[in-house]
Amino acid sequence: MVHLLAAEAPNEFFFPGDINEFYWGLAAFSIVFGVLAWKVFPIAGKGLRDKADRIEAELAAADEARNAADAEAQALLAKLGDADADAAAVISEARSTAAKLEADAADKARADAEALKARVAAEIEIARGQATADLRSEMSKQALAVAEAVVGANLDDATQAGLIEQYISRVGVSS
């Protein structure tokens, strides 16, 4: 190709060959560039702007999603913190309830033991009274038998009661 350019005779312009060819080429280029600038470049520019707007919207949506996820994570962390506090409160309440139930059970056991002691003491007192009454009755029978043997005859009720009381009081003093 170099030899073609060198073979052509240079003209007074910088370009080799016919200058009209340059002008027609420049005019054709200007027309094509004008049509491109008038019809194609606005469409391409609109497409690029739409793509930029779409990317910007996607970035904004991604930022919103990230912010929402961060907020949700913070809420979950706060709930976890609240859950720990709630668990500690439940455990503390359970411990205090257990201590109260233990104290109530101990108080009830003491009260039941005291009631049982009182009931047993009352039963012992009743049994003692019954045994004393049975002993008096038996002693009065024996005293009557002894008195009848000593006196040899039946005694009236007043004398019999007096002798029995004397005997019981003597036996009571000696025991």
Q: What percent of the chain has pLDDT over 90?
A: 26
Q: What percent of the chain has pLDDT over 70?
A: 83
* Three-state SS at 155: coil
Residue 156: DSSP 8-state = P
Q: What is the pLDDT of residue 1?
A: 42
CB 171 within 8 A of CB 139: yes
Please provide residue 154's backbone torsions phi and psi, each rounded to the nearest 5 degrees.
-75, 140
Alpha-carbon distance 157 to 144, whole Å?
11
In which residue are the tokens 């707007």 written?
A: 53
CB 139 within 8 A of CB 164: yes
Angle between helices 41-151 and 157-174 (to 10 degrees): 120
CB 148 within 8 A of CB 154: yes
* Three-state SS at 99: helix
Q: What is the pLDDT of residues 53-76, one digit of tens each?
A: 999 999 999 999 999 999 999 888
Task: Tell me the DSSP string of 37-58.
Answer: IIIIHHHHHHHHHHHHHHHHHH
Neighbours of 171 (CB within 10 A): 13
Q: What is the pLDDT of residues 83-118, one digit of tens each?
A: 777 888 889 998 999 889 998 988 998 988 898 899
Q: What is the pLDDT of residue 128?
A: 87
Partners of 16 in the β-ladder = 10
Q: What is the pLDDT of residue 5?
A: 47
Q: What is the pLDDT of residues 120-149, one digit of tens each?
A: 888 898 988 888 888 878 877 777 777 676
- Altogether, the residues listed in the chain come to a count of 175
The structure's pTM equals 0.36
Q: What is the pLDDT of residue 29?
A: 95
Q: Please say if the pLDDT value at position 42 is more than 60.
A: yes
Neighbours of 38 (CB within 10 A): 9
The tally of CA atoms less than 13 A away on the side-chain side of residue 42 is: 5
